[in-house]
Structure formats: C-alpha cells, structure tokens
Amino acid sequence: MENRRLIKIVGTGYYVPDQILTNADLAKMVDTTDEWIVTRTGIRERHIAAADQATSDLCVEAARRALKNAHLEIKDIDLIIVCNNTPDTVFPATSCWVQAKLEAGTVPAFDVIAGCTGFLYGLIVAEGLILSGSAKRVLLIGGEVLTKVTNWKDRGTCILFGDGAAAVVLEESRDGSGMLSSYWKADGTLTNLLLIPAGGTQKPTTLQTVAENGQFIVMKGNEVFKHAVKRMAEAAEEALRKANIAKEAIDLFIPHQANKRIIDAVGERLKIPKDKIYVNIDRYGNMSVACIPVAIAELRQHKKIKPGTIMVLDAFGAGFTWASIVYKW
Ligand code: UT7
C-alpha cells in the first residue's frame, strides 16, 4: 500500500435541471401514491431535464462548475470521459458532444457505459490512464437524462428516475490522499433484468418496437433489488479489505441511490452507522451514474468532507455491474 501511486479529485461540480416532479405530480399520471413511493423507495421528488436539454448539456454545466471549483480552465484538461447510459446519440459518444460544447480543441474523449456503476468504472479507468502516463489531468463526468427513456405509463419504473450530472477533475496525488483501492465486477448473464430492449443492433427501432415501448427502460425491480444488496455489500467489503481499512474507520459511506431500502439493507449488512451513510435520494431519485458524484460535490459544498476523511463509494447497476472504491480525502 505504502508505495502505491494514487490519483485524487481536485475539483467537483454538479448540475440538476430546474424542473421538479413531485410524487404528488406522479400520482396524477399513474396509479400510485406519495405514501407508496416514499415508503417503498425513499424518493419525494426528482429533477427533470427540459425538452431541449440532452445529457451533454447537463454534463457541460457540471463540468464548468468542477473546473471553476478546481481553479482550472478547459485548456488544462487532457482527457474527457463521460459516464452515462442515456447518450445524446447512439453514436458518436456523448463525450464528443461535450468536448465540442466545452471548446476543448482536440482533447481525446470517450464514454464509459456500465449501468449505474459507470462513474466508479470511470474512476478506475481514469486511474489507470493517469498512472500509466496517458493523461495528466482528466475531466470525468457522470450525467443522465433518464426521464427521456422512461415509460411514463409504467408505475414500477417511472417513479424512480431523475436527471442530473456531476463532474470531477482528477490528477496524480502527491500528498498521500486519493483513491486507495477499488473492486469492480460484472455479470452479463443477468442483462435481461434491467435494460432498454430496442434501438440497438439486437432489436433495431421499428414501428413494432415503438408500439411495444421497447425504447424505454424495462426492469424486474424486485430481482434487481436482491442482487443490488448482496453485490454492494460484497464490493464494499472487498474494497475495504484491499485498502486494509477497517469498517470502523469509515467516515462517509456514499452508496448509489437506487432505493432507500437498498441503502438501509447494505448499511445493515456492513454494520455502518446510519449517520455515516449519505442519502439524497429523497430530493433526486435515481440519477444512475450521477448519484455518487453529485453526492460528493454536495458533501464538499456543505464542508462535510475534510482532509483525511475516509469515504467508501459503492454502486450496482444494469449489466449487472458493481464496484466500490475506498477514497481518502
Ligand atoms: O439503479 C440500479 C437499478 N435499480 C434498482 O436497484 C431498483 C431496484 N428495485 C426497486 O427499487 C424496487 O423493486 C421497486 C421500487 C422498483 C419496487 O418495489 P418492490 O417493493 O420491489 O415492489 P414490487 O415490484 O414487488 O411490487 C409490489 C406491489 C405490486 O403489486 P401487487 O402485485 O402486490 O398487487 C406492484 O404492482 O407494488 C405494486 N407497485 C406499485 N404500487 C403503487 C409497483 N409500483 C408501484 C407504484 N405505486 N409506483
């Protein structure tokens, strides 16, 4: 551990669209209630992108805020990575739309697509590229406009999702702070439990796929729930073991925000006190890859992260994919 080179976050920023959709609004759209949504998910409201806002627009706003927070300009960045599951276009990558809007010249840009775990996969990829010398300073963004791929007639999914983006600026650490360990896994045999079935090369868009709502998210929620609890607990345990850090030393546990009951169950399995677990699902719903970086940016804004703070990031998502990162600020 002692000699390991580390990368660290030197700037954070987030952006959520202005428009808010409350549970009361949803109760007018589908057969549901505020009480059901709050007790079964912990969600009270979520932010919704405007008709003319694409994922790249949210990412650009978050990126500008992260650069400002780092006291840097776009010319100081030499790689842009955008983690998302809701691209602007099937191709090219959303990162290329973002790169152009940020006027980043010819800086390389690519996407990481790994379900809700995408941002943690992105951190691990960025770590490898910085430590290998391929990039010096990376702008890593997680952004989603999930509400444009949501079936607003499916009460089992439409209550869950919200839109948002967050960005971090990453570089090699010289002071012992940063990403101490990571653990990442996937199980592609379970793809069918959570996916957008049509619009790709398996099932290209036709009038038939549209009639069947194949362009929207389909999820077997209760199946996903069970895997999420088990895998998130496993990931955090393994990342802590790799960092040689005891659970008692954790200051902040920052889980993916898919369902408050998943967060509670993972916290109980890991025996992490509730006051160390960050929850913002009540205000944002599930923003997929944006959940964890928005949480980090909010925590920094509220001065809840100080030098030396030990954080565990933990996520699970479509694929299935899951990962955890132990990070010392
Ligand atoms: O981001 C990573 C991936 N996503 C997740 O991790 C999400 C994981 N899953 C979940 O969060 C939960 O499974 C849901 C919130 C999606 C659903 O909660 P659940 O406790 O698993 O409910 P269920 O699907 O087992 O459904 C229980 C009942 C059903 O009625 P019956 O068949 O018992 O009569 C559903 O039709 O609740 C009904 N139901 C609703 N009722 C009111 C489902 N959605 C709603 C709703 N309002 N919005």
- Report the chain (329 residues): mean pLDDT per 10 consecutive residues: 85 98 98 98 98 98 98 98 98 98 98 98 98 98 98 98 98 97 98 98 98 98 97 98 97 98 98 98 98 98 97 98 98
Ligand 1 center to 219 CA (angstroms): 10
156 lines ligand 1 (CB under 6 A): yes
Ligand 1 center to 41 CA (angstroms): 9
The correct answer on CATH 3.40.50.300 for the domain covering 7-175 is no
Mutate to test the pocket of ligand 1, among 259, 263, 286 (most ligand atoms within 8 A of CB): 259
Ligand 1 center to 62 CA (angstroms): 31
> Which residue in the block uniquely carries the two structure tokens 């030393």?
249
- Tokens linked to 207: 């009038």
* Whether 116 is catalytic: yes
Q: Do domains 7-175 and 179-328 have the same CATH topology?
A: yes
Mutate to test the pocket of ligand 1, among 31, 40, 160 (most ligand atoms within 8 A of CB): 40
224 lines ligand 1 (CB under 6 A): yes
pLDDT at residue 329, rounded to an integer = 98
Catalytic choice (59, 84, 158, 256): 256
CA-proximal residue: ligand 1, atom 4 (nearest)? 258
Tell me if residue 286 falls in helix, strand or coil. strand
* Whether 256 is catalytic: yes
Task: Provide the residue type at 100 as one letter.
Answer: A
Domain ranges in the chain are 7-175, 179-328
* Whether 47 is catalytic: no
Distances (CA, A) of 141 to 14, 69, 76, 162, 232: 9, 14, 16, 17, 22
Phi, psi of 15 (to 5 degrees): -145, 130
- Helices and strands, number each (H, E), in the chain: 10, 13
**What's the pTM value of the predicted model, to 2 decimals?**
0.97
Task: Provide the residue type at 265 as one letter.
Answer: A
Ligand 1 center to 231 CA (angstroms): 19
> Which residue in the block uniquely carries the two structure tokens 């660290």?
8
Ligand 1 center to 326 CA (angstroms): 31
263 lines ligand 1 (CB under 6 A): no
CATH no., domain 179-328: 3.40.47.10
The answer to whether the CB of 269 falls within 8 A of the CB of 231 is no
84 lines ligand 1 (CB under 6 A): no
60 lines ligand 1 (CB under 6 A): no
